[in-house]
Structure 1
Amino acid sequence: MSITFETAGQTVVASLQGRLDSTNSPAVEAELVGRIGPSGFVLDFSRLDYISSAGLRVVLVVAKRLKQAGGGFVLAGLQPHIRDVFEISGFLGILDVAGTKAEALARF
């Protein structure tokens, strides 16, 4: 699992690559939460291969912390198999999801 960060205006973009599961979710959560502020935040999953329930929990924690900080949150680039996991879990109904990183950034 690797995470790269970039800033577009006042929006933080975190791009995840690899697998987000129970073996790395605590470290990923800590790294993402450490970047939360009152600005926008995009999680780019276009290079994410797998997400487990532990990974879904990380997404919820980040979304909750951003809401508390007054920042916006958008998921971007969900591959079909990752999107299926979010759909089955019901997360698509509660999270803002964009097709691409550019679309997500346009929401801020």
Structure 2
Amino acid sequence: MSETRLKLMEAITRKRTVTAQYNGGVIKLAPHLLFERHGDLFVSALNMSKNWRSEEDRRLGQFKLAGLGATELLEESFDPLPSFEPAAPRSDDTLILAI
């Protein structure tokens, strides 16, 4: 099992934030759900590094685990988004773990 996968699974279980390298930058994520799509692993997470116009605009993004590097589990906890439903995004996705 990859170190990124293990850290994200722990983050989801403990509702902890993570930092990771993604597209050449470092982002801070609040991971809500881990799922598989066509043999690849993805995490649905709130990108806490993004400037959201309002609290209501905040939504989960989908990040391919293969694209996340140097993932670090932080001690900072988070509250799940009020609109979060613990289900795979698409009907043919496989849910692995959700908060």
Give the TM-score category using the shorter length.
under 0.3
Structure with the higher fraction of residues in strand conformation:
2
**TM-score when scaled to structure 1?**
0.26
Structure with the higher fraction of residues in helix conformation:
1
**TM-score when scaled to structure 2?**
0.27
